[in-house]
């Protein structure tokens, strides 16, 4: 099994009792298919039932005769009152669905209903998921609806098919063969997204190439949009702010210039001529050398609003990124986004949504939540997570990211008093006028298994499930994914779920324990680089972030330091500010502490750091042992793939550990406590290792 089918394998169900119940219930179907969306829903249902149960249901034309009834509320007018109250139909909105047992004429039935065809498609995927995870279908009462409106994958794909920070092969978009050639993969991609509720796709890199807005490319984009439409996926494009100059031959891209404004309006009209349901733009402006409104002395609001005005007549949105920093290295890069955006709260058009990374630096293995969450009550904010593992070992390390996402989503900002979690803010609970969303930087490429590492697929899956409902637990998501992707055997699911749930903490331990961050290899971002002190600018180095010296280690972001803590609201601010209450997982993020500082375990800081690094490596070893026991429970192809990747991960974890411990020891001057194995090489050996041709390094090709 090469993993191409992702979590949609629809394995044959072998439990005879289950097969009997499912087959007797699902042998007859009432399902009218009138649109492209309900057509794909029907096909999905049929292939799922055939693959799992060898069942080709008989299509019936009357609700009475069906064991499984699928249809929109309108199509089921005669029985909708038996299914649910009006208020419930209202609650599920345009994309939600209800799956329920009802009794008609004395016969028990399963009904899947929704207000729209796309709701039906999501409902069918939801129903098939129940079968894939072998759930009882006789006590169903499921009401599902998405908590965020825009659930989007951001592809950092360049037009030349390289992928910035992509570790799963070339871009899946074959621009050269488009629009004439629609690769089956595009359809499989849209289908996989729909199965987890993702409804949008930004096709190209945020470091955008202006060519994407030329007519030649728009025709190609239209072909993709047409292929995705039956699955409810809208396309969006990353745009370069200087496009009016680069492809429009204007002299300026100043957002207040009438000619520039007109250029964007005309461009929007052209796009909507080809793609009537085009989603909108994603913009990286005035960040890492990209042009933006500040280039012309204007503000983020000026820039975003100008684009928003061009898209508004067509109902498109602008996703304007808050990941901004420039060449004037401030005392602390962590503060810059907040400083630049907070003053503009309430100043953005209603169709602008600010896209904020989960933390204030950059997708590190662990960061505290971004202080902009809770700071802009009158502005739509969407979170940006990174599925591609730029700082998490690329596609060689098994790191299940749901716990990382959840840690941020569940964090309490106290913006509206206790309970104002990041998730609640993202869901728009405090301001119903706002638009809501979640973005994930895709980890997809043309590797046969899509994501490079068989387990990296779980991050794509988890993102979709959490964008749909941030309240779901990592445990539930891992459980579903394992069952759907591999099998329902508890002797497999249970231990592997533990591995997945532990894996992020394991990576934090062997990479950046206790709040350390940004100490990875320069440019590639692969492997350790705590010694990096020259990278063109201070805030691209590692020493800027860890600040190790003979006196201690850590970035003082308290009021005696950069005071980044002041961007958080009380009591979060106080908790981080105070050494005694700051969670140890963020210790060195907020504090510079002595090497002999006593940590909660009773070990001093140095010994704790060493302990964490060694524990991280040991945990990878346990992961390997558990996986080795799974040989008889999974197919040989994926078994071998994961086994090999885990052995790379083990070597890499050791490298991280040894390099960091030896490097930090040059400051602490303290011994590695007895009982730990001695690093295999001297520090110079690790420093000299180079990964010049590592994949994923930037550009806007
Ligand atoms: C960083 C990446 C860089 C991206 C940038 C961004 O290293 O390649 O362009 O984020 O998000 O994580 O714009």
Helices 184-195 and 457-468 pack at an angle, to 10 degrees, of 50
Q: For residue 207, give Cα distances in angstroms to 18, 292, 650.
A: 50, 12, 33
- What backbone torsions phi and psi does residue 502 show, to the nearest 5 degrees? -85, -20
- In ligand 1, the atom with minimum distance to the C-alpha of 698 is 8
pLDDT of residue 329: 67
Model confidence at 325, in pLDDT bands (50, 70, 90)? Answer: confident
Is-catalytic flag, 144?
A: no
> Percent of the chain at pLDDT above 90?
96
Cα 12 to averaged position of ligand 1 atoms, centre (Å): 42
CB of 206 within 6 A of ligand 1: the answer is yes
> Which residues on adjacent β-strands are paired with residue 69?
30, 111
Cβ atoms of residues 237 and 203 within 8 Å: yes
pLDDT tens for 349-406 read 999 999 999 999 999 999 999 999 999 999 999 999 999 999 999 999 999 999 999 9
Average pLDDT, the chain: 97
**DSSP H helices in 330-419:** 336-341, 402-409
495 has pLDDT over 70 = yes
Q: Pseudo-torsion of CA 176, 179, 181, 182, nearest 10°? A: 120
DSSP secondary structure string, 40-91? HHHHHHHHHHHHHH---PEE-SSGGG-SEEEEETTTTTTTHHHH--HHHHHH
Which residue among 323, 333, 361 is best mutated to probe the pocket of ligand 1, counting the most ligand atoms within 8 A of its Cβ?
323
User: 72 - beta bridge partners?
Assistant: 114
The predicted pLDDT at position 327 comes to 72
- Nearest 10 degrees: CA dihedral of 305, 310, 313, 315? -70
Catalytic annotation present for 390: yes
d(CA 356, CA 154): 13
Q: Hey, whose CA ends up nearest to atom 8 of ligand 1?
A: 698
**Statement: residue 698 has pLDDT above 80:** no
207 lines ligand 1 (CB under 6 A): yes
CB 115 within 8 A of CB 86: no
Q: Is the pLDDT of residue 691 over 90?
A: no
Whether residue 330 has pLDDT greater than 90: no
Counting residues of the chain whose pLDDT is more than 70, the rounded percentage is 99
Mean pLDDT along residues 129-135: 97
Instruction: Dump pLDDT digits (tens) for 10-30.
Output: 999 999 999 999 999 999 999
390, 407, 505, 658: which one is catalytic?
Answer: 390
pTM: 0.98
Whether the per-residue pLDDT at 447 is higher than 70: the answer is yes
- DSSP for 263-275 reads HHHHHHHHHHHH-
699 pLDDT above the threshold of 70: no
Query: Does residue 560 contact residue 553 with C-beta atoms inside 8 Å?
Result: no
Would the CB of 323 count as within 6 Å of ligand 1?
A: yes
Cα–Cα distance, 104 to 329 (Å, whole number): 69
How many other β-carbons are positioned within 10 Å of the β-carbon of residue 655?
20
- Most distant pair of Cα atoms in the chain: their distance: 81
Q: Is 698 in the pocket of ligand 1 (CB under 6 A)?
A: yes
Selecting among 288, 489, 539, 584, the annotated active-site residue is: 288
- Does the pLDDT at position 601 exceed 90? yes
Band the pLDDT of 701: cuts 50, 70, 90: low
Whose CA is closest to atom 12 on ligand 1? 362
The per-residue pLDDT for 57 is 86
Interatomic CA distance for residues 224 and 447, integer angstroms: 20
How far is Cα of residue 287 from the mean position of the Cα atoms in its chain? 21
SS3 label, residue 397: coil
Structural domains for the chain: 16-144 (3.30.379.10), 150-484 (3.20.20.80), 509-555+592-688 (3.90.1330.10)
Which residue, 169, 98, 121, 134, is CA-closest to 11? Answer: 134
Q: What is the pLDDT of residues 244-273, one digit of tens each?
A: 999 999 999 999 999 999 999 999 999 999
Q: How many helices (H) and strands (E) does the chain have?
A: 22, 14
Q: Is 288 a catalytic residue?
A: yes
| Residues forming a β-bridge with 59 | 29
SS3 state at 447: coil
Using the atom order of ligand 1, give the atom closest to the CA of residue 357.
11
Mutational pocket test of ligand 1: of 208, 337, 390, the residue with most ligand atoms within 8 Å of the beta carbon: 390
- Region 494-513: what's the mean pLDDT? 98
Give me ligand 1 centre to Cα 13, in Å: 43
C-beta 556 within 6 A of ligand 1: no
Residue 66, pLDDT above cutoff 80? yes
Q: Measure 288 CA to ligand 1 centroid, in angstroms.
A: 8
The confidence score (pLDDT) of residue 510 equals: 98
Q: What are phi and psi of 198, to 5 degrees?
A: -75, 135
Catalytic residue, candidates 132, 164, 362, 447: 362
pLDDT at 697 exceeding the cut of 90 = no
The pLDDT value recorded for residue 465 is: 98
Mean pLDDT across 625-632: 98
Q: Give distance in angstroms: CA of 214 to centre of ligand 1.
A: 25
The answer on pLDDT for 632 being more than 90 is yes
* pLDDT of residue 527 exceeding 90: yes
Short-list 570, 576, 533, CA closest to 557: 576
Query: CA 524, CA 520: separation in Å to the nearest integer?
Result: 8
DSSP lists the bridge partners of residue 201 as: 153, 235
């Amino acid at each position: 099994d090469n993993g191409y089918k992702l979590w949609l394998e629809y394995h044959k169900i072998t439990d005879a009792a289950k097969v009997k119940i499912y087959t007797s219930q699902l042998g007859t179907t009432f399902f009218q298919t009138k649109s492209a969306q309900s057509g794909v829903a029907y096909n999905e249902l049929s292939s799922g039932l055939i693959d799992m149960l060898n069942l080709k249901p008989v299509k019936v034309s009357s609700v009475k005769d069906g064991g499984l009834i699928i249809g929109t509320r309108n199509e089921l007018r005669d029985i909708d009152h038996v299914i649910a109250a009006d208020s419930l139909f209202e609650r599920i909105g345009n994309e939600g669905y209800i799956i329920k047992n009802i009794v008609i004429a004395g016969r028990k039935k399963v009904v899947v209903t929704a207000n729209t065809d796309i709701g039906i498609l999501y409902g069918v995927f939801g129903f098939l998921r129940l079968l894939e995870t072998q759930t009882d279908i006789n006590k169903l009462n499921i009401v599902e609806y998405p908590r965020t409106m825009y659930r989007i994958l951001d592809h950092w794909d360049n037009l030349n098919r390289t992928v910035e920070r992509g570790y799963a092969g070339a871009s899946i978009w074959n621009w050269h063969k488009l629009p004439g050639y629609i690769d089956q993969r595009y359809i499989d991609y849209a289908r996989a997204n729909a199965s987890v509720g993702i409804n949008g796709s930004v096709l190209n890199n945020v470091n955008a190439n202006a060519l994407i807005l030329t007519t030649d490319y728009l025709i190609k984009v239209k072909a993709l949009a047409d292929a995705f439409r039956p699955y409810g996926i809208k396309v969006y494009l990353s745009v370069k702010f200087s496009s009016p100059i680069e492809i429009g031959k204007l002299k300026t891209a100043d957002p207040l210039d009438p000619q520039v404004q007109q250029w964007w309006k005309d461009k929007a009209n052209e796009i909507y001529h080809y793609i009537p349901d085009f989603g909108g733009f994603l913009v990286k402006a005035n960040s890492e050398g990209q042009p933006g409104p500040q280039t012309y002395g204007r503000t983020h609001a000026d820039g975003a609003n100008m684009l928003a005005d061009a898209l508004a007549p067509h109902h498109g949105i602008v996703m304007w990124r808050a990941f901004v920093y420039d060449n004037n290295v401030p005392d602390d890069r962590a503060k810059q986004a907040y400083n630049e955006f907070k003053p503009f709260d309430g100043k953005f058009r209603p169709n602008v949504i600010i896209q904020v990374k989960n933390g204030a630096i950059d997708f590190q293995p662990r960061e505290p939540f971004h202080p902009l969450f809770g700071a802009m009550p009158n502005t739509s904010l969407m979170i940006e997570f990174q599925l591609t593992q730029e700082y998490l070992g690329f596609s060689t390390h098994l790191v299940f990211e749901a716990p990382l996402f959840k840690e941020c989503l569940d964090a309490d900002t106290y913006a509206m008093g206790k309970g104002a979690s990041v998730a609640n803010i993202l869901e728009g609970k405090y301001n119903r006028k706002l638009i809501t969303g979640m973005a994930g930087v895709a980890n997809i490429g043309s590797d046969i298994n899509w994501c490079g590492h068989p387990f990296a697929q779980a991050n794509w899956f988890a993102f979709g499930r959490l964008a749909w409902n941030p309240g779901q637990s990592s445990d539930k998501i891992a459980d579903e994914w394992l069952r759907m992707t591999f099998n329902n055997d508890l002797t497999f699911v249970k231990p592997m779920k533990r591995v997945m749930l532990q894996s992020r903490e394991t990576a934090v331990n062997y990479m950046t324990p206790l709040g350390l961050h940004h100490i990875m290899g320069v440019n590639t971002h692969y492997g350790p680089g705590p010694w990096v002190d020259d990278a063109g600018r201070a805030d691209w180095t590692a020493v800027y972030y860890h600040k190790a010296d003979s006196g201690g280690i850590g970035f003082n972001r308290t009021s005696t330091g950069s005071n980044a803590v002041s961007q958080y609201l009380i009591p979060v601010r106080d908790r981080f500010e105070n050494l005694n209450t700051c969670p140890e997982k963020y210790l060195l993020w907020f504090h510079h502490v002595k090497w002999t500082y006593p940590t909660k375990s009773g070990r001093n800081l140095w010994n704790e750091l060493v302990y964490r690094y060694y524990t991280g490596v040991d945990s990878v070893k346990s992961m390997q042992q558990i996986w080795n026991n799974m040989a008889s429970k999974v197919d040989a192809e994926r078994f071998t793939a994961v086994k090999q990747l885990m052995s790379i991960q083990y070597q890499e974890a050791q490298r991280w550990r040894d390099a960091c411990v030896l490097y930090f020891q040059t400051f602490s001057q303290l011994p590695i406590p007895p009982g730990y194995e001695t690093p295999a090489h001297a520090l110079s050996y690790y420093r000299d290792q180079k990964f010049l041709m590592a994949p994923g390094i930037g550009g806007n090709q």
